[in-house]
Structure 1
Amino acid sequence: MQDHSIAELPSLRRQKILLILERDGKVMASELSQHFAVSEDTIRRDLAELDSAGLVQRVHGGALPRPKDTGKDFFTRVGETDEVKSYLAQLAARYVKDGQIVIFDSGSTTLQIARSLPSDITITAVTASPIIAIALAEYKGIKVILAGGQLNPATMCASGHETLRLLQGIKADLLFTGVCAIHPEVGISSLHFDEVPVKQAMLDSAAHVIAVSMADKLGAVEPFVVAPCRRIQTLITERHLASGNVEDYQRLGIEVVQADTDL
């Protein structure tokens, strides 16, 4: 249904766009153009204004909600108690087997996975996060290899030439990749530019990649694209998604594990 009455009121139209986005989880410029009886160029300008204000995340053809965690530093995220995240981490930890070489990317969820491993596990763990390295070092059976470099205080992860050189020299069985945002078309993306080559090197070094993601990060996009979704073999997430469908990821060949997180 077209809404001709607000075609000449950009501020009101943008408020309506936000309401539609909250209801549907995504908006498409072509559909909004028909709904408001304005050109797609007008809608694209609306979405650009909303993106500049930090209210939406523009993607090809439309817009998505902003991820809830955007802008929070590592210590803020680690300090937040989240039973759902802890449960997803426990599911992920079950994929780890004795004798494996496992890469742990940075992130509060990955830290939870490290803390959820069986107490008697025997593996070689590789990480560029000092905090995750400390958590892993508490296990008697885990040999920890810490990739050094310049530390980003927002992510508590090292980056740079030395980090990449170590990661590129490893052939791991398993990678737990950190996820800022993941979209079936755009792929895995990050809020931090310096994370991109590190994450790419980790993806290149692992035989099996597992992403553990809260529902609000699915269908979201951050400024710096890391890799296509096809680089992930297993996605562990909540049963109830904020936007999109698991079929979008399954069509890409990804095993999707949806946990019953109604705790």
Structure 2
Amino acid sequence: MLTTERKALILDTLGREGRVIAKEFSDKLNLSEDTIRRDLRELAGEGLLQRVHGGALPASKALADLAMRGKVSVNDKSAIAKAAAAMVKKGHIVFLDGGTTAVAVARALPLDLRATVATHSPDVAVALLDHPSVEVELIGGRIYKHSNVAVGAVAMEGIAKIKADIYFIGVTGIHPDHGLTTGDREEAAIKRSISRQSAETIVLGSGEKLGAVSAYHVIDLDQVDGMIIEKSCRSDAIGSIKERGISVVHAAG
């Protein structure tokens, strides 16, 4: 079997079964495990899967640049944003993550809402400029340009001084075994720190992130209080999430 054929079969198996175990796959094809592991390394280098101990899992499709992500699933993000905004009550202190869905949440907040929003995203802060009764606490630091959010020690210090009622977190991977993951180590640390400072952590999810894994772990699913997902998301994709006792809200369009 040619290398291109093996790689295509690996990706097809990932799409159908949600994982590839190197030893089982090598036995099935009667090839050495080293050959399959080399294929997995090369596919991971192309961003087509995420290697884990013993094999591979689907790579998140949510790792594109910010401009590209802004054009994806616009209606679903709007529905998720409205559902998230409905959870925010008068007097709440809210942490809003970076990313296109978080910006949509900011825009969906009622104009007469009296609350405080803390964020390390300049885009979220700008989106709240027309909300006269929302106090905005902008966390500073070095800008991670892929998501246009502040990271680093200065951001950590700012986050540590705020206690929030609710944190709307965005990630690139949501997996029952590997928890919440993202593509950058420092961004993962920032998200983890915000979650520790918040009474509730609510995931802004989407179908393409379920079952996917990125390189850096944020938190486990048992540290998540709820998830908002688009209404069209397949029920089988979230079954293992609900089994963990996590409340899942299906956002209507």
TM-score by length of 2: 0.89
Q: What's the counterpart of residue 201 of structure 1?
A: 193
Q: CA deviation at 1:76?
A: 3.5
Matched, 1:16 2:6: no
Shift in Å, 1:10? 3.9
1:255–1:198 Cα change, 3 Å: same
Query: Which SS does the other structure have where 1:172 is aligned?
Result: coil
Alignment partner of 1:232 is 2:232: no
Superposed, 1:38-77 pairs within 5 Å as 38-72=31-65, 74-77=66-69
Structure 1 residue ranges without an equivalent (≥5): 1-5
CA distance in 2, matches of 1:254, 1:42: 39
Check the 8 A contact 1:24/1:243 in 2, yes or no.
no
Classify the secondary structure of the residue corresponding to 2:118: strand
Given candidates 80, 93, 97, the residue that maps to 1:105 is 97
Question: Per-residue deviation at 1:235?
Answer: 0.9
Which residue number corresponds to residue 221 of structure 1?
A: 213
SS at match of 1:144: strand
Contact residue 26 and residue 243 of structure 1 kept, 8 A: no
Equivalent in 112, 116, 125 of residue 120 of structure 1? 112
For the residue of structure 2 that corresponds to 1:220, the secondary structure is coil
Q: Percent identity?
A: 38
CA contact (8 A) 2:50 2:215 kept: no
- Cα-to-partner distance string for 1:59-79 (whole Å, 9 max, x where unaligned): 33432333223231x233335
Match of 1:207, SS state, is coil
Q: Amino acid of the residue matched to residue 219 of structure 1?
A: G
Deviates more, 1:157-166 or 1:106-115: 157-166
**Of 147, 167, 171, which aligns to 2:163?**
171
Counterparts of 1:53 and 1:167 in 2: how far apart (Å)?
34
Q: SS state of the match for residue 200, structure 1?
A: helix
Matched, 1:251 2:251: no
Q: Which moved more, 1:74-83 or 1:152-161?
A: 74-83
Q: Do residues 142 (structure 1) and 134 (structure 2) align?
A: yes
Deviates further, 245-254 or 202-211:
245-254
Deviates more, 1:85-94 or 1:28-37: 28-37
Secondary structure, aligned partner of 1:206: coil
Structure 2 residue 189 is matched with structure 1 residue 192: no
d(CA) in 1 for partners of 2:16, 2:90: 45
Instruction: Specify the SS of the correspondent of 1:140.
Output: coil
Contact residue 189 and residue 221 of structure 1 kept, 8 A: yes
Aligned match of 2:88: 96
Match of 1:152 among 141, 144, 152: 144
Deviations 1:79-105 (A, max 9, x none): 556111111111111111111110111
What's the C-alpha RMSD, in Å, of the aligned pairs?
Answer: 2.3
Task: Verify the 8 A CA contact 2:210 2:238 in the aligned structure 1.
Answer: no
Shift of 1:200: 1.4
Q: What is the Cα deviation at residue 39 of structure 1?
A: 4.9
